[in-house]
Structure 1
Amino acid sequence: MQTKLTLRHKIENNLVLIAISAVLALMYLPLLWHWYEGWLKKDIGIIHEYFSHGLIGIPFAAYIVWLNRKKWHRLPDKFHPLAVGFLIIGGIFYVSGLTDFVNLSLPIILTGVCLWLKGIPGLKLQAFPLVFVLLATPNQIPYLIEPYALPLQSFIAAVAGFILTQFGVPVVVEEINLYVGGQIVEVAPHCAGLKMLFTSLYVGLMLLYWTGVWRSLTRSIIFLGSAALISVIANIIRNTLLTYFHGTGNEQAFKWLHEGSGGDIYSACMLGTLVILINLMEKYFPIDSDEPETRSGFIASHDEQD
């Protein structure tokens, strides 16, 4: 009986939050299902796949919200006028029917809800989850960036050609194209590692939050810069292998690494190096004297939630 009374009391105290959660679920569960189906099946378009890090990023954001639930309830209810603007803009985006606007309405409305219920303190508390949701929301930004990726494509092609030459493989490099054995491999924008770069930086942000290293600006910059460098190096190696496989007629290996499970395994191994890197940084890289110290290890971020 006591348990039922306690449960009823909790429900009565959180009716508004429960109602808002139900409305958001009705609005966005179909959209999230659409995103996840596209990421898993890889049949929705290249631009959408640029945000496949949302497979782990969105659940991670939800997990942070769950960890922050006690802090959220301790915050006083406080309405902020900016909430109205965010909710109106998010609502307009949602009913517009335009794919990008409907997608972006999710982080906008979530921001408005935080401001409506808890004001600026609530927004600050949920800042990281909101950022993770925003950066996992499919939009056209990769399409706008692709035209500026030509120098990176040319650099990757040149380095891949140089590496193959060192191993005695006859290769001709023309801008972003590599010719081996009469076969051509183009380092297209998607193949230039933009997706891998986005994923690396996103996972890097997750690791910075999880370990608490984000509180050190210097270490955060060094880590994200290193993550970007690792991504570029990994993509150079991948394009070198793809060129070799295609040029020597090993189409099975080419397809496995290019479109099959080999590409996913390769990316997972690359991301695994980020975990190793951040643990090494925590262990060997000293914290600046003007920055607050954070404890090493994954447990630190959990302890701070209570």
Structure 2
Amino acid sequence: MQASLKVFDPVKRHSTEAAIALLLGMLYAPLIWYWIDGWLSKSISIEHEYFSYALIGFPYAAWIAWLSRQHRHNLPSSGSFLGISLLALAVTFYLSPVQNLINLSFPLMLGAVVLILKGLSGLRLMRWPLLFVLLATPTELPYLIAPYLMPIQRMNAAIAAFLLTQIGMDVSVDQIYILVNERIVEVAPYCAGLKMLMTCLYVALMMLHWTGNLRSRPKTLALLAGAALISVVGNIVRNTLLTFFHGTGRTDWFEWLHESWGGDVFSALLLLSVVLLMNGIDRMANSLTLSPAGGAGKDNFF
């Protein structure tokens, strides 16, 4: 009899959490499935496709939330007026006919639940999972940024044209338009590398959190700056290849890199570069710390 009661102890202990998780699943499973299906099949809007890094961001957020479950359980229960207010806002957004407000209701709802159950101490504990969910929630942010990308579009077009002239191609540039062999290639706002920049910075933030390097400002700044540079250089290379394929009539190759799985492979290589950069920064920091010229303590560099 005692053994059977022990089996039900965890269920009884976490019954509230389980009921809330079930309710949230019923509310948001269709929405999240819509996102996932849209990202995988590329049937979602262009702006929301920018947030496809949520395919790794959401599982990572869930994983670090799971790791802190015991600490979260030990926190005292503490209702919060702020949590109730945030819950009302999340419900209002969820019932709104505006797609972006419905999307934003998801991280707001999660934050409200944490505040209501565990108060501000719970919010501090869950700040990183909630931040990763918020940053990966589809919004119209890319659409708002697009009008300011003209300088980057011009730079991409100019550098791509310069590189192609180095291999003997007849190339001319007019603002964001590249003319190659009487074929015009436009470096559109959504070809300026914003998606890859957002993805690289998000993955860099994940790497910094995973390795515990967020405590080091130099490492954080170095990785974020390096990730931004990787995305910019990578996008210039991609635009150059696309211009070359289109200008030389290699339509199949153009479509493969532009809309097919070739673009996914290229993106994966850039993300791998971010991971390798994190490893390189760690190695450099360790070598400088251990070197005789580095002094006795870590504070000399990182």
TM-score range for the pair, normalised by the shorter chain length: over 0.9
Q: Which residue of 2 aligns with 1:273?
A: 273
Q: Which residue of 2 aligns with 1:289?
A: 299
Q: Which residue of 1 aligns with 2:263?
A: 263
Per the TM alignment, residue 2 of structure 1 is displaced from its structure 2 partner at its CA by: 5.7
Deviates more, 1:70-79 or 1:176-185: 70-79
Identity of aligned residues (%): 48
The residue correspondences of 1:1-306 to structure 2 (distance < 5 A) are 4-285=4-285, 289=299
Q: TM-score, normalised by structure 1?
A: 0.92
Per the TM alignment, residue 45 of structure 1 is displaced from its structure 2 partner at its CA by: 1.5
SS in structure 2 opposite 1:96? coil
Give, in whole Å, the separation in 2 of the partners of 1:131 and 1:59.
Answer: 13
Q: TM-score, normalised by structure 2?
A: 0.93
* CA separation of 1:247 and 1:96: change in aligned 2, threshold 3 A: same
Per the TM alignment, residue 193 of structure 1 is displaced from its structure 2 partner at its CA by: 0.6
Deviations 1:237-295 (A, max 9, x none): 0000000010001111111111111100000001000111001111112586299x8xx
SS in structure 1 opposite 2:234? helix
- What amino acid is the match of 2:141? I
Give, in whole Å, the separation in 2 of the partners of 1:280 and 1:71.
Answer: 33
- What amino acid is the match of 2:12? E
SS in structure 2 opposite 1:173? strand
Per the TM alignment, residue 81 of structure 1 is displaced from its structure 2 partner at its CA by: 2.0
Give, in whole Å, the separation in 2 of the partners of 1:81 and 1:221.
Answer: 36
* CA separation of 1:2 and 1:155: change in aligned 2, threshold 3 A: farther
Q: Which residue of 2 aligns with 1:301?
A: none
Per the TM alignment, residue 5 of structure 1 is displaced from its structure 2 partner at its CA by: 2.2
- What amino acid is the match of 2:140? Q
Give, in whole Å, the separation in 2 of the partners of 1:67 and 1:166.
Answer: 53
Q: What stretches of structure 1 move > 3 A for 4+ residues in a row?
A: 1-4
Deviations 1:39-75 (A, max 9, x none): 0000122111010001111111111111111111121
- What amino acid is the match of 1:209? H
Q: Which residue of 2 aligns with 1:302?
A: none
Structure 2 gaps, min length 5: 290-297
- What amino acid is the match of 1:175? Q
Per the TM alignment, residue 7 of structure 1 is displaced from its structure 2 partner at its CA by: 3.0
Give, in whole Å, the separation in 1 of the partners of 2:2 and 2:207.
Answer: 41
SS in structure 2 opposite 1:151? helix
Deviates more, 1:136-145 or 1:214-223: 214-223
Give, in whole Å, the separation in 1 of the partners of 2:226 and 2:131.
Answer: 21
